[in-house]
Amino acid sequence: MTSAADEHRLIARGFTERVHGVAPGAWDAPAPCPGWVARDVVRHLVEWFPGFLKAGAGVDLPQGPSVDDDPVAAWTVHRDGVQALLDDPATADRVLTNAHTGSMPLDAAVDTFYTSDVFMHTWDLARATGQDERLDPARCARLLEGMLPMDAVLRSSGHYGPRVEVADDADAQTRLLAFIGRTP
């Protein structure tokens, strides 16, 4: 079984490749998330997670420059802060508590709520900026399998668009993207 630190390292590497692959001027290209541009995909990851960690586990992540000023540096500082947290042996003894999710080990919470978000948004950034959109098929299948039983809860959260219908024999990536409301 892969550790939360190793999983984040792998998933963040794929997202980082897409961040570094954004062509000059493409940060304002429309993203698949309604009302977002490519820069907003990075903004979402950099801005929501620090508050979640602070409120649930008292963790302060380092802050980089504004995504508006330098999305690459903003992502890099954020990514490195999350990785340092997961690589810290003391994290194994920490717990994150949230009114909606209850209490769980901090590393498991990061993996469940954040690393999976980075994985899915890798496609959004790739699609917005004309890069390689392929995601790991086995990871897509595992993520979808874990999300399917929570369909109503996820949908009611407002974080996912309406499910998009796809063929029954669609591949795992297509099914996952359709489940979260993307048109693959």
CATH ID of 4-134, from 1.20.120.450, 2.60.40.420, 3.30.420.40, 3.90.850.10: 1.20.120.450
What are 100-111's pLDDT values in tens digits?
A: 888 999 999 999
pLDDT at 99: 86
Domain spans, the chain: 4-134, 136-184
Res. 19: pLDDT tops 90: yes
CA 82 to chain centre: 12
3-state helix, strand, coil split of the chain in percent (to 5) is 60, 5, 35
Q: What is the mean pLDDT of the chain?
A: 94
Phi, psi of 103 (to 5 degrees): -105, 140
Res. 153: pLDDT tops 90: no
What are 37-58's pLDDT values in tens digits?
A: 999 999 999 999 999 999 999 9
